Structure 1
Amino acid sequence: MKHAGKAQAAALKIIFFSLGAVLLLLLVGFLASKFGGFILGLSGLLAVLWLLFAIFTFNFFRDPDATVPPGKKLVLAPAHGTVDLIDETEELEFMGGKCRRISIFLNVFDVHVQKAPLSGKMVFHKHRDGQYLSATRSDCAEFNENVLIGFIPAEAPEQKLGVRLIAGLIARRINVWAAAGETVAAGERISLVQFGSRGNVYLPMSATIKVKLGDKMVGGESILATLN
């Protein structure tokens, strides 16, 4: 599948960098052993801490394939996480006005590879710098760094759908793999947000919401709404 393996590549990059840092510290500890055993005694602890960090990183960057459910005009959850906001809002940059919004909070234990919510064309991509407030705040999109992605649904080309990926207190990197002008399939990998974040989905007012607050989402599989 398109973009498969990119999350694991990002994980390996972080792990190898951290391994180099640990090895450097161990070398310093070995050289310092002539002046005292305390630093050398930390070498075992450092090795254990690095191993735990490597396990956490591999788990964080896991990237399961999505099993896309059958159906017409479905809007799928773009991210794993918990629905903690369902409302109506004004989104002027892409939706052009009033729309429905579903917000999904991703904690550090959720899968952080995002999936296309429907089949269609990605026609909009805008990055905005900002702060790094906690993503547990449902209003963090107003202040935090974020990326807004816009889609034209293949089954409803007269409508629009937006996804805003929001950085958080820990998540400070948003990597969008799909590009504006690219055609995507529902459940296809489109991006990666590293270490805890939030995703807002903007729907037409005519859409029918299929989730409620507190529902757990599986990216590319859970049905958020249907287009009418």
Structure 2
Amino acid sequence: DRNLCRLDAFRRRFIFDLSSDDKLDIYQIFLDFYYALEIDFIKFSDEYSQKGRMKKYSVEALISLLDELDFGYKGRKDLRAIFDFLCTIEDIRPGIDFIDKKNSDSKKNYIVFTISKLRSKIRRKFNSGNLVKRSPVSVSKCLHLLAPNFFPLWDRKIAQEYKCGYVKRPNEQYYFFCEKAKHISAIIKDYKECKRSGKSILKLLDEYNYAKYTKGWID
């Protein structure tokens, strides 16, 4: 398998070795993983839309989805009521769960759809629509696990801060992100603090990115 050969080569390399010759290989590996890693779980919360915009996984989005699936729901905009309605639908009932988080810090309830457990005709509708998205974040995690010294980690906020937003052409954006990670890694690799940490450069970079951009802990 060509991908295994590519990954084996990357596994023996470091981010500092990245070159333009790697571009097409990274494009292809990223896409292959991207299309292989399908999200099986979709979680709708009772968090309502704000400022007139429908949140992607809100109660309102779920009601809209039911309309698309030809299961028009006309009841209360209440997650428990919707769940009770879904439990009456034979094609959906095997693939749904209700999670009560009201007593936890999240203060939200959820309906969770497990796509693989839905009846085939409903599963096809889920997979053919825009709701089931593959995750560029999951791809970076897989690549990093397979070649931890070569492939950096990202998430949506990190990618945006690095001007590598992945809504379009995520494989190309990931290569640009790798180039930027290479540049930063080359700057910090000789710092004594980095050497004393015992962690890889990409691990340190990910911890910094997570603290600064994902969580906003660093000004």
Q: TM-score, normalised by structure 1?
A: 0.22
Identify, as 1 or 2, the structure richer in strand: 1
Q: TM-score, normalised by structure 2?
A: 0.22
